[in-house]
Amino acid sequence: MTVAPTIETQRLRLRAHVEGDFAPYADMFASERSRHMHGPLDRRQAWFAFCGDVAQWSLMGHGAWAVERREDQALIGQVALNKPPHFPELELGWVLFDGFEGKGYATEAAMAARDYAYAELGEESVVSYVTPDNTRSIAVAERLGAMRDDAAPRPDGEGADEVLVFRHPSADALMDGGMEAYA
């Protein structure tokens, strides 16, 4: 796979990034909103991050999707399946741009990406790395049925006080009653 496939949910479209997506991405990374993702970043650093998110599709068969609202094609954020060399496991990550929080979009987009990881990529496990003070992302992970896994390895150079690991149940495990399938 060299480009992100398009996935549609009830309200959202997950699609491949285009160059025009960079400006709102860079704006988000320049803001305090990016503090949970090693930001803020200047425009040059944001460009390298953006290119890395896009390039993972051709290099690894997974990566980032732009998330747009179907009703008006508004770009509202990004959801990604990431595994750069310093990540021990495939990570499901999400970010919404300013003004789009509180509507369930992150959960809806992340659920679609999680299900893609299991159904299309054949992954056996997916995690989310979340900073301990990122209460909104912790809430999204929990709404997705993810459970904290304090024994899981963390990205290189990050300790348990810097990042929490949430392990996501597969769609089958959710249907069968949750994380007991992972015990």
Q: Are the beta carbons of 115 and 144 closer than 8 angstroms?
A: no
Is 42 among the domain residues? yes
pLDDT digits over 127-150, tens only? 999 999 999 999 999 999 999 999
Q: Are the beta carbons of 81 and 91 closer than 8 angstroms?
A: yes
Count how many domains the chain has: 1
Is 2 among the domain residues? no
Work out the mean pLDDT of the chain and round it to a whole number. 92
pLDDT digits over 21-43, tens only? 999 999 999 988 877 777 799 99
What is the distance between the terminal CA atoms of the chain, rounded to a whole angstrom?
32
Domain coverage including residue 104: 7-182
